[in-house]
Chains A and B, each alone.
Chain A
Amino acid sequence: MLICDGVELRQGDFVLRADLQFSAGGVTALIGPSGAGKSTLLSGLAGFLVPHAGRILWDGQDLRSVAPGRRPMSVLFQDNNLFPHLTIGQNVGLALRPDLRLTPDQGRSVACVLDRVGLDGFADRIPAALSGGQQSRAALARVLLGDRPIVLLDEPFAALGPGLKEEMLDLVRDLLVGDGVTLIMVTHDPADAKRIADDVVLVAGGVAEPPVQTDVLFANPTAALVHYLGAGMG
């Protein structure tokens, strides 16, 4: 169980308050207007921002003093998810050894996970030689290999076309969801939320609301959601 207990995150003048808990093993979408603090919340969870007040708890443990790389979570960012000068194999291998001193066994695991995301034989290429979709798959392969209980997605597929984005979301669902992984994804597209999210957290006006079941929320939108979605969407 991932809990934000009276968390207050500050970035310059901006303040975001979050007092909520994410259901374990479920998919939660963070939606809300841009600049409302979705990415700020994700940064706080990932450990890039230290809460000004409150605690972030995972299975009862306060994560305050846990460095980002040691938290039980993998992150995919909006961009720069792959180091351009490292090969795909190296990029994926970082999930096992941050210093890349892989054992032969670990090397086989890398090959295996690349195969699972459909990138068999791409291990020795550099990211620039891959298409956008293939790059996303490589990043996803690293998340899979990392095998951490929480996965944070900060709109990593936003730059892909709509078809490709849906394909990637499906891939995420197939590979991660249902495996006990707690998935938290930022999105500005309600369709994404409807597609794979169990719950939705609305982030608006400096506050992250407690999660609401996706179908419930869209069936009975709150005022804030209506405002965000606009007249045509309700």
Chain B
Amino acid sequence: MARSTFPITPRWPGTVAAVLVLILTIGTLGAVAYRAEWGSGLSAADWAAIRFTVSQALVSAVISVVLAIPVARALARRQFPGRQMLITLLGAPFLLPVIVAVLGLLAVFGREGVLNRLLEGLGLSPISIFGFHGVVLAHVFFNLPLAIRLILQGWLSIPAERFRLVATLDASVARLLEWPMLRAVVPSAFLVIFLICLTSFAVALTLGGGPRATTVELAIYQALRFDFDLGRAALLACIQFAICVIAAVLAWRVAAVDAMGAGLDRVVQRWDLSRPWLDFAMILAGALFLLVPLGMVVLRGLPGLTQMPETIWYAALRSVFVAGGSAVLCVTMAVALALRGGVFVAVIGVLPLAASGLVVGTGAFLIVFSFIRPSDVALVVTMLVNATLALPFALRAIAPAVERVAADYGRLGRSLGMAGWGWIRLIVLPRIRRPLGFAAGLAAALSMGDLGVITLFAGQAEETLPLAMYRLMGAYRMEAAAGAALVLLAMSLLLFWICDRGGRVDADL
């Protein structure tokens, strides 16, 4: 559609959101660099960290995507009771705080885990989760849900008419429909997961087995907390940005339209469905891999529920408050950016993925500290940073829907003199409810588990649930901490479910 000189919504909210994201990503990096005393360059160990980071991210992203394809394909083809519930649950690992997920993984794949008990029973030698493969395993566990979701979306976005057409031609669905769809969807899914794994810190450190598994993010941590070498931290963060940019450019050419938040409850009628057992085997395998560790978190957390101090509930409420605030901020920014549109906005939408969480936190601290006491704004900054970090996902869900509203109804709205808030309130928001709910749920759940920003800012009174859980562990209270982990898991999922559900009710117009 040709550009008109009469935009239906003002451009400033999108600009404000973009500036906010720029401040929190590039600006925080600048704040760290500004305070740096430049001297030391990169050591050999830093280069080793860069190599390890890139290689584990590549392998993790490839495996996540490759495994997600058959599971997504099976979910797209089969209808069965509880399918929608299963799809929601399969998304859970992506929402988990790292430490909770690692505990769950260890309970399954660890030395005393379910799997090794099974192997032992069968007289086989046990396996070890620690090392490069452990890092990859954990990253796949985290990101497979995202990959499944993105690819399933691709499958469900193929119009039913196309399947009918292919059926009448007696042609190959795989070659005519599925392959082109995968070529469009897989590269962007790969990119997102690659970027997530690139900035990973705790997973690699905990399961990596030693300094071999040093990531750039850990090197940044070391530079910030251990050597207090802000210059090196900034340099490493720049390198991390550079790697992300290269990856983004490589994957950019095949950028695809995908609507992560659109309905997943659709099943397209198909004429090429043989061998149902194969599909169900895929679904079962995916579900086992993703849900058994979750089940272990639940199982281990139950006894601890009675041992948690009462303050846990205050911390939990504070976390819900932060999560709610993040969700509102995040979808507000996403809608503002989506309404503004354009390539610039697409770039803004990827920036937070490339940012180092530690540098964002530290930079935000330096910026805030120049004006006010950080603990006074701990929860607000935590909301803002988490909203920004969740923005890429929210934008992916919301932007295509907003574009569709503009394409379908923009001219009608303008011819009726609708503009600004009235247009957003009456037309845009009701029409993007599904992706809006999904994005809000995602942002809420992701910030529920935040441990990066809050540790830097929080005083005694701003303890959130993950922080409380971590402090319990630090005081030997492992059982109570497991209980807190269960509460965290349940609340993250519940928040996601409520928001996602809210977007779906009566939204089938």
B393-424 vs A, Cβ < 8 Å mask (1 yes, 0 no)? 00000000000000011011011111101110
Given contacts A83-B409, A126-B509, A128-B509, A48 and B4 within 8 Å (CB-CB): yes
A180 to chain B, nearest CB (A): 20
A5 to chain B, nearest CB (A): 19
Q: Is B5 at the interface (CB under 8 A from chain A)?
A: yes
Q: Is A68 at the interface (CB under 8 A from chain B)?
A: yes
Interface pair A99/B408, CB less than 8 Å apart = no
Binds B, one of A69-77, A104-112, A164-172: A69-77
Q: Is A49 at the interface (CB under 8 A from chain B)?
A: yes
Q: Report which residue of A73, A84, A85, A146 has the largest number of chain B beta carbons within 10 angstroms of its beta carbon.
A: A85
Q: Is A226 at the interface (CB under 8 A from chain B)?
A: no
Among B5, B417, B430, B509, the residue within 8 A (CB) of A70 is B417
Among A11, A80, A100, A146, the residue within 8 A (CB) of B422 is A100
Interface pair A69/B427, CB less than 8 Å apart = no
- Residues of A close to B4: CB separation below 8 A: 47-50, 68
**B414-452 at interface with A (beta carbon < 8 Å):** 414-419, 421-423, 425-427, 430-431
Q: Is B2 at the interface (CB under 8 A from chain A)?
A: yes
A118-146 vs B, Cβ < 8 Å mask (1 yes, 0 no)? 00000000101000000000000010001
Q: Is B6 at the interface (CB under 8 A from chain A)?
A: yes
Interface pair A69/B416, CB less than 8 Å apart = yes
Interface pair B409/A68, CB less than 8 Å apart = no
Q: Is A23 at the interface (CB under 8 A from chain B)?
A: no
Q: Is A67 at the interface (CB under 8 A from chain B)?
A: yes
Among B412, B418, B421, the residue within 8 A (CB) of A80 is B412
Residue of A nearest to B5 (CB): A50
Q: Give the tally of cross-chain contacts (CB within 8 A).
A: 78
* Distance of A47 Cα from B5 Cα, bound (Å): 9
Q: Report which residue of A75, A95, A98, A142 has the largest number of chain B beta carbons within 10 angstroms of its beta carbon.
A: A98
Interface residues on A, range: 20 to 34
Q: Report which residue of A84, A86, A99 has the largest number of chain B beta carbons within 10 angstroms of its beta carbon.
A: A99
B406 to chain A, nearest CB (A): 11
Residue of B nearest to A73 (CB): B415
Among A68, A85, A99, A128, the residue within 8 A (CB) of B415 is A68
Q: Is A175 at the interface (CB under 8 A from chain B)?
A: no
**A1-23 at interface with B (beta carbon < 8 Å):** 11-12
* Distance of A74 Cα from B417 Cα, bound (Å): 10
Interface pair A67/B6, CB less than 8 Å apart = yes
Interface pair A83/B427, CB less than 8 Å apart = yes
* Distance of A86 Cα from B422 Cα, bound (Å): 13
B159-172 vs A, Cβ < 8 Å mask (1 yes, 0 no)? 00000000000000
Interface pair A85/B414, CB less than 8 Å apart = no
Interface pair A75/B415, CB less than 8 Å apart = yes
Interface pair A69/B2, CB less than 8 Å apart = no
Interface pair A94/B416, CB less than 8 Å apart = yes
A18-58 vs B, Cβ < 8 Å mask (1 yes, 0 no)? 00000000000000000000000001001111100000000
**A89-106 at interface with B (beta carbon < 8 Å):** 94-95, 98-100
Given contacts A43-B2, A49-B4, A85-B430, A95 and B416 within 8 Å (CB-CB): yes
- Residues of A close to B5: CB separation below 8 A: 50
* Distance of A83 Cα from B416 Cα, bound (Å): 12
Q: B residues touching A (Cβ–Cβ < 8 Å)?
A: 1-2, 4-6, 408-409, 411-412, 414-419, 421-423, 425-427, 430-431, 509
11 further interface pairs, Cβ-Cβ under 8 Å (given A74-B415, A94-B418, A146-B416): A48-B1, A50-B4, A67-B414, A69-B416, A73-B415, A75-B411, A80-B412, A83-B431, A86-B426, A95-B416, A99-B425
- 8 inter-chain pairs at a CB distance below 8 angstroms, sorted by A residue, are A47-B415, A48-B2, A69-B416, A75-B415, A84-B509, A86-B430, A98-B416, A98-B422
